[in-house]
Amino acid sequence: MEKRSVTRWALLSMLLFCVQVILLSLTPLAEYGNAANEFNSIGMWLAVAMIAGMYIVPLGLYRIGLPFSKAILAILSGFGIFIHFIIVVSFLSRHFSRRLESQQQLVACCR
């Protein structure tokens, strides 16, 4: 039962990271810079494959039963989920601050 739960959290973290790379490749910032990953480019797919490999290898070792792999997997999954939490919080705070700013401008305009 514990292995199933650890596997689910690791796969969730991996999926979030892969989706993040794909979504970020859709932004206008993906067009700038030499190392930018444009959507559906070889660089984007290599980044997704590298992220998946960095999760799948420790997950496979954990499923086999090697004791040190649980610590590595916990660090990777915890780090990944923490990063995604920070991204969501920063996105929501920026969204709500822009919304509040536009409402304040509307109120100031109507006075």
Locus of tokens 């199933």:
4
What count of residues does the chain have?
111
- Helix, strand or coil for residue 94? helix
Contact residues for 77 (Cβ-Cβ < 8 A; gap 6+)? 6, 9, 10, 12, 13, 55
pLDDT digit string (tens) for the chain, length 111 residues: 788 888 888 898 899 889 988 888 888 777 777 766 788 888 889 999 999 998 899 899 999 988 888 888 888 888 888 888 898 888 888 877 777 777 666 666 666
pLDDT of the residue at 105: 66
Across 59-75, b (16+ Cβ under 10 Å) vs e yields bebbeeeeeebbebbee
- Give this prediction's pTM: 0.73
pLDDT of the residue at 107: 67
Residue type, position 111, single letter = R
- Between CA 12 and CA 75 the distance in angstroms is 14
pLDDT of the residue at 88: 83
